[in-house]
Each structure stands twice: as structure tokens, then as C-alpha cells.
């Protein structure tokens, strides 16, 4: 089963719809982020992932990990993302202490159907930047993707 990812009402209809795979660990990953990290993930999903979809892979924002698994690479602060992706007026809504907060976050996803992004999980790389941990997170995301395909 899937649940829809609720973003604030944006004027532009996103070109890709975002869903969360309930059998994945995205909700658990998201709940472990602090408020500032959650805000930057929401902004990156709304302003980068939803408009670009699979085209994130043609940029520094995305990486094709193979076998249908992709990652959204979030490594810019929230102010930079809002300014670069055409929503500079929203910067004033962000608490000052969050605006330049450094983040290094991966969101694992797949793309399917009529322009749907399915969020499978995520990883806060700043908290544990080891290659071993990253490989473990990617393996977990692969097994979640397999479970979704079986479903």
C-alpha cells in the first residue's frame, strides 16, 4: 500500500506525483530527522524531485544505483535550494538558524507508471558518513524495492 506525500499547496502542479511505500523505511528515516533536516527534505522533494522526476539523474541531484533504484542527493542548505529553484520569497518563512544548516541526505526512490516517484527510504549521511553504513542503507533500499515489486 502507498500513502501520498503531503506538501504545502504549491501554485505549480508538480510534474511527478510523490508517493511513499508503506512497506519501506522512509517514514522512520523522516521521523529521525530534526526539524531543519525535515524542512530541507520537503523543499528538495517539492522543488527538485517532483518537477524533475527521473531527470534528476542528468544532474548532481540524482544517481541511478541500478536495477530500478535511484537516490536523490540533498547536499545544499534550504536557502540555496529555494533560491535556485525559483522560490526565493519562501526563504523568509524559514527560521534563520536553518537557512544555512549543512545537510547531506540521501532519499531512495524508484520511478514508475504515469510519472510517479515512490519514496522507499532515506539516509542521513552527515550523521554516519562511513562507506560501510552507506552500502548498508543501499542494500536495505534494494530489499524494500524488491518487496514493493513483489507486492
| Mean pLDDT in residue range 123-143 | 96
pLDDT digits (tens, 9 = 90+) for 108-126: 999 999 999 999 999 999 9
- pLDDT of 2 higher than 60: no
Dist CA 124 CA 66 (whole Å) = 21
Grid cell listed for 87: 522560490
Residue 13: pLDDT band with limits 50, 70, 90: low
Q: Beta partners for 121?
A: 108
Top pLDDT among 54 and 6 is at 54
What is the pLDDT at residue 86? 86
pTM for the full model? Answer: 0.90
What is the pLDDT at residue 1? 44
In Å, what is the CA distance from 106 to each residue of 73, 79, 96, 114?
5, 18, 24, 24
Dist CA 99 CA 77 (whole Å) = 6
Q: Is 133 left (phi over 0), alpha (psi -120 to 50) or beta?
A: alpha
Q: Which of 125, 120, 121, 119 is nearest to 105 (CA)?
A: 125
pLDDT digits (tens, 9 = 90+) for 50-108: 999 999 999 999 999 999 999 999 999 999 999 999 899 999 999 999 999 999 999 99
Amino acid at each position: 500500500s502507498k500513502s501520498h506525500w503531503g506538501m504545502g499547496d504549491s501554485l505549480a502542479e508538480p510534474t511527478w506525483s510523490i508517493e511513499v511505500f508503506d512497506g519501506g523505511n522512509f517514514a522512520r528515516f523522516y521521523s529521525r530527522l530534526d526539524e531543519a533536516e525535515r524542512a530541507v527534505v520537503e523543499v528538495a522533494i517539492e522543488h527538485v524531485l517532483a518537477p524533475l522526476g527521473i531527470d534528476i539523474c542528468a544532474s548532481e541531484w540524482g544517481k541511478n544505483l541500478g536495477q530500478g533504484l535511484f537516490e536523490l542527493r540533498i547536499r545544499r542548505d534550504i536557502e540555496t535550494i529555494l533560491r535556485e529553484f525559483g522560490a526565493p520569497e519562501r526563504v523568509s518563512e524559514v527560521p534563520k538558524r536553518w537557512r544555512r544548516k549543512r545537510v547531506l541526505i540521501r532519499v531512495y526512490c524508484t520511478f514508475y507508471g504515469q510519472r510517479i516517484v515512490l519514496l522507499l527510504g532515506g539516509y542521513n549521511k552527515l550523521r554516519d558518513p562511513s562507506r560501510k553504513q552507506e552500502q548498508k542503507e543501499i542494500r536495505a533500499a534494494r530489499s524494500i524495492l524488491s518487496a514493493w515489486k513483489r507486492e
